[in-house]
Structure 1
């Protein structure tokens, strides 16, 4: 069997270690920053203009384009390379800004209205890229990571940021649990949380949101997927993979309304080996149950003891808002002791439709594969005669 893999839009392992000046110039020109720079220049105070806005903006972008790990590494290259300095408007070796100038410039960019203009630049670039790459954002993934920061000492500035709805730096821990529920590793940092929506195929960030460390991942899903915000090419997210941190009911309701199919594992909240059948309801037989993750099972009650098997998924019926399952014996072609009782002579076999509205967490549009779940033992005796 041949497996074909599509390369991402940006194959990071093949990018030039030292891009040419022409490549750098084209990268700088591709950023729609005219409105931002005009606003910054209009707000400049009278007095010394040692480092123009365009120079400080260029020094901010160059470490990203050149893939320097630190600002100092970029400043050292600027001191050595005269052609690179002239590209962003630095006249001589000693005329470039230092780290303190960059810190103050970042503080300015983090306030209104410059922060809104920065997000507009990001959104515009994503929209342009989406027009050039038709399958950008077709299959996505989300997660969060820690950003290190420092506390703002100016109380007035803090009050102004809070009034603007900006998060404040705080301490945050992240626990990593093993399969047995123990916590072998804890990571702590002081700063913020960065929430990302990424195109899984091309490895491109489509949307981002920054919060304080106390905000859960599930609370920041809305800003990443809300339509009309310009974060992503519209109507282009059929699937989104995330970990259990975003698996609450509110998130699943939001995704269901947006037509996004979630790919995630449910949190374990039920008692061990728990399963339910009464929640399915309707005309479904009492020997059809589901476990905490959502896969649907049927019991061959004629056998002694009863045998549980995963029902065969027949897909998602969007018009009905249901998940369809069929008799596994009919689909897979094996002999079941309860076949005559369950199928009642039907060639197609027993059909079960589960309404997603019963529990969007457990019955998403992409049915979960029971093979990834640990076997669940028969937790309660089968009713006599069922």
Structure 2
């Protein structure tokens, strides 16, 4: 924690209630940043110390906590708010803009230390919340660069963004009346790949890339990093949620085969031959569609009925489906001739099609219920936009974008840790809720 070793003899915090500054007090007190502070102080050495490292760092945190979009906005707040200056560790003098520019460059050069802070906070949360990481969700958030595209991207002058590129997301589906819809979103900037806990809505791992980088390879990388840094989270994780952008056979296999995590990932229709259903192996009257819904045809009337899902058998790695006539009590003229008449059920191996058949059947009520939990990451993305300033920002460059995302996420985690330790668990996801 970047605590100022020597404060003034009398300060505002000793004679007045901190009020809204209590939020900043919690962040400063519980932020595990001592190693970063010591490293920055060693790098400064015997150089000029007009503005202390710890005070500068605290003011950067204050800018995020109090939602200042620019450094100039933060400086104006520091100039008129003596209580905030005292909390950060400044005297009456506010650092000029160029001091902040140089300090932010120093922070970017020490990105590894910020990553260590993030990992330490994740481990702390795992200790405080034993079920943290039980249900994980992943998504890629688009973040536009403040700069516009320049034809000459070779020169780095601090104004143009030579790192960013164009990203494209395509959303498509089918209306209830059968008509198709399609929406395309393009942006120039970056992408934040984020894994969060779907219950507590708190980050677990992240990566910042150019906008054009595909989400699936980054998902594999993030899973490996979680396994290396936080093995307990991977061990305890049961469900992994993602939208159809992560519909990948290798990812689905990796989750279940390597980690025994049940993937709940939406699926794309990859059947290009126009078929609505496919025949199940070793059966003549049982078919399935691309979403994994299983149907049987009556041998006599050829009437199609949806089979009842009977659960997942982990030892056999099979999905069990029951005869609809037996399960629902429906009259079926061809029941005696049906191929599932012996046990009144069939078993489908996951290996039939690993994308379609997953440990939680896509046609089950549980899959639908679990998938609704994916909206947790949408709410986290919304908080990053609204509360942490990514909706309106002045960020250019990949290093600065990663640094800014890192600071936002470590503050998010720090707020959660301090709220729990201060017996304010109901407020642990909020940045703006008063302490």
TM-score bracket, shorter-length normalisation? 0.7 to 0.9
Q: Work out which of the residue numbers 325, 329, 344 in structure 2 matches 1:333.
A: 329
- Offset at residue 72 of structure 1 (A): 4.1
* Partners of 1:231 and 1:22 in 2: CA distance: 34
TM-score (norm 2): 0.69
1:15 is matched with none
Q: CA deviation at 1:181?
A: 4.9
Structure 1 residue runs without a partner (length 5+): 1-17, 158-166, 374-386
Query: 1:319 is matched with which residue?
Result: 315
- Relative to total residues, which structure has the larger helix share, 1 or 2? 2
In 2: Cα distance, 1:102 partner to 1:289 partner? 64
Q: Which residue of 1 aligns with 2:94?
A: 95
The 8 Å contact of residues 228 and 234 in structure 1, kept in 2 or not, is answered as no
Which position in structure 2 is the counterpart of 1:160? Answer: none
Bigger mean CA offset, 240-249 vs 265-274: 265-274
Distance 1:22 1:232, change over 3 A: farther
Q: Give the length in aligned residue pairs.
A: 334
CA spacing shift, 1:285–1:89, aligned 2, 3 Å: same
Q: Contact 1:310 / 1:370 at 8 angstroms: preserved in 2?
A: no
Separation in structure 2 between the aligned mates of residue 132 and residue 119 of structure 1, nearest angstrom: 20
> How far apart are 1:138 and its partner, in Å?
1.8
Q: How is 1:141-152 mapped onto 2 (pairs within 5 angstroms)?
A: 141-149=137-145
Q: Distance in 2 between matches of 1:32 and 1:235?
A: 25
CA displacement 1:84-123 (0-9 Å, x = unmatched): 111221111x42343x544443343334xx2222111111
- Give the Cα–Cα distance (whole angstroms) in 1 for the partners of residues 318 and 134 of structure 2: 23
Alignment of 1:11-26 (within 5 A): 20-26=20-26
Deviation at residue 56 of structure 1 after TM alignment: 2.5
In the other structure, the counterpart of 1:300 is: 298
Q: How does 1:222-233 map to 2 (within 5 A)?
A: 222-226=220-224, 227-230=227-230, 233=233
Q: Structure 2 unaligned segments of length 5 or more: list them.
A: 1-17, 369-435
Q: Is the 8 A contact 2:75 2:94 kept in 1?
A: no
Question: Is 1:356–1:363's contact at 8 Å kept on the other side of the alignment?
Answer: yes
Cα distance in structure 2, aligned partners of 1:85 and 1:96: 11
Tell me what 1:352 maps to. 346
Match of 2:376 in 1: none
Matches within 5 A, 1:245-264: 245-256=245-256, 257-264=258-265
The change in CA–CA distance for 1:181 and 1:251 in structure 2 (over 3 A counts) is farther
- SS of the counterpart of 1:28? helix
Q: 5 Å matches for 1:33-72?
A: 33-44=33-44, 47-72=47-72
Deviation of residue 343 (structure 1)?
A: 6.2
- Alignment match, 2:121: 125
CA distance in 1, matches of 2:325, 2:29: 62
Closer, same or farther in 2 for the Cα pair 1:132/1:317, shift >3 Å? same
Normalising by structure 1, what TM-score? 0.77
Determine if the alignment matches structure 1 residue 173 to structure 2 residue 174.
no
